[in-house]
Amino acid sequence: MNLRTTALLVASALLLSGCATLGAQYTAAGAAPPNRGTVYVYRPGAMAPAVSPTVSANGVPLVELPAHGYFVYYAAPGELELAEHTEAKTSVTLDVKAGETYYVKGTVGMGFFVGHPHLVLVDKDTGEKEIKDCKLVPATVPTAETVAAGPPPAIAAKK
Amino acid sequence: MSSCADPDLNLKLGGKGGAVNLTRLSCGALRLLPLAVLAGCATDVTVTPQLAEKNIPPCQIHGLVRYQGKPEYLPSALVPDQAPPSQIAFEYSHAVQYGLKETDPLVTFVNPLTLFGFPTGADNLIVTGRVDLVRGDATIRSYAAAAAMKHSGNVFSEGETFTDMRRRGLLLVRDNLTSQLCKDQSVIETLLADRPTTAKGSQ
Cβ distance of A109 and B102 shorter than 8 Å: yes
**Of residues A107, A96, A108, the one with CA closest to residue A130:** A107
For the whole model, what pTM was predicted?
Answer: 0.76
pLDDT confidence of B52, banded at 50, 70, 90?
confident
| pLDDT at residue A83 is higher than 80 | yes
What number is the average pLDDT over the span A74-93? 92
| pLDDT at residue A5 is higher than 80 | no
What number is the average pLDDT over the span A133-143? 91
Give pLDDT, residue B55.
81
Give pLDDT, residue A2.
67
What are the distances in angstroms from CA B129 to CA B10, B60, B132, B170, B181?
Answer: 58, 19, 10, 8, 13
Cβ distance of B121 and A95 shorter than 8 Å: no
Q: Which ipTM did the prediction report? A: 0.79
Cβ distance of B102 and A118 shorter than 8 Å: yes
Domains of chain B in sequence order: 7-37 (no CATH), 44-192 (3.30.160)
Chain mean pLDDT for chain B: 78
pLDDT confidence of B5, banded at 50, 70, 90?
very low
Cβ distance of A110 and B158 shorter than 8 Å: no
How buried is residue A6: exposed, middle or buried, by Cβ count under 10 Å (0-12/13-18/19+)?
Answer: exposed
| B10 phi/psi in degrees, rounded to 5 | -70, 120
Is the distance from CB of A122 to CB of A104 less than 8 angstroms? yes
State the SS3 of A84-104: EECCCEEEEEEEECCCCEEEE
Tell me how many residue pairs between chain A and chain B have CB atoms under 8 A apart.
65
Residues of A with CB under 8 A from a CB of B: 47, 79, 81, 83, 88-93, 95, 105, 107, 109-112, 116, 118-122
pLDDT confidence of B31, banded at 50, 70, 90?
low
- pLDDT tens by residue, B159-180: 789 999 999 999 999 999 999 9
| pLDDT at residue A50 is higher than 80 | no
Cβ distance of B163 and A120 shorter than 8 Å: no
| pLDDT at residue B190 is higher than 70 | yes
pLDDT confidence of B111, banded at 50, 70, 90?
low
Query: Which residues in chain A are contacts of B120 at CB distance < 8 A?
Result: 109-110, 116
Length of chain B (residues): 203
Give pLDDT, residue B175.
95
